[in-house]
Amino acid sequence: MMGRIAHLTQVNYGTFRGWVRALLGQVTYATGRIDAHLNIEPPQVQRLVFVCLGNINRSAFAGAIAQARGIKTCSIGLATTTGAPAFHTAITTARSFGIDLSAHTATDISDFVYQSGDLLLAMEVRHMRQLLARGYPAEAIAPLGNWSSPHRIHLHDPHTLSDEYFQTCFTLIQSAVNHLAEELRVANSPCIN
């Protein structure tokens, strides 16, 4: 029984820590502590900026999905090296979604130029807090997982984790980007080409 629970945790959340952070993310959402970041103004959104830690897995994939849907986008990392390539498992997993990450290069936030109309889409609540601490406006920050199906505010980092969890993580990201893209399209957001 414990082996099955461990396996399900690994496939769905990456690690036990990932499960705990996912739970805490949902509690943060349910208690209203991130309400200020949940209501976007599609007519004001000029570009989607996907944010994670290294910009070699989650945000790289999200940006590529958005670009494939004709959305003005970029992706950045909060602690990365500009120019770093996508992680090999991210490249392999992305291929199963019809996305090519082989030419992706990371961008550190220090090399990012914020523009009015940017919507910063974070993978984790702590990333949202880091963006706020750096002075980005609260109304320009949202959790990408708010649009995922199933709903998951915390999209745990798959870096060095199992191929199965990479697939789960990228499935959640794809669903979130697709749902957000549809919301933006219906509202005639200028970020849709």
Give the separation between CA 134 and CA 16, rounded to whole angstroms.
30
Confidence of residue 114 (pLDDT cuts 50, 70, 90): very high
- Residue 28 confidence (pLDDT) above 70: yes
Query: 31: which residues sit within 8 A by CB, 6+ positions away?
Result: none
Q: DSSP secondary structure string, 77-145?
A: ESS--TTPBPPHHHHHHHHTTT---TT-B--BGGG----TTEEEEESSHHHHHHHHHTT--GGGEEEGG
Q: Output the average pLDDT for the chain.
A: 96
Least confident of 2-16, 69-83, 137-151: 2-16
pTM for this entry: 0.96
pLDDT score at 58: 98
In b/e form, how buried is each residue of 38-69, taking b as 16+ CB within 10 angstroms?
eebebebbebbbbbbbbbbbbbbbbbbbbbeb
Give the separation between CA 119 and CA 122, rounded to whole angstroms.
10
Residues 39-51, mean pLDDT to the nearest whole number: 96
List, for residues 63-108, the tens digit of each pLDDT value: 999 999 999 999 999 999 999 999 999 999 999 999 999 999 999 9
DSSP-assigned beta bridge partners for residue 76: 51
Give the rounded percent of residues in the chain with a pLDDT score beyond 70.
Answer: 99
- Residue 4 confidence (pLDDT) above 90: no
- Residue 2 confidence (pLDDT) above 80: no
List, for residues 163-183, the tens digit of each pLDDT value: 999 999 999 999 999 999 999
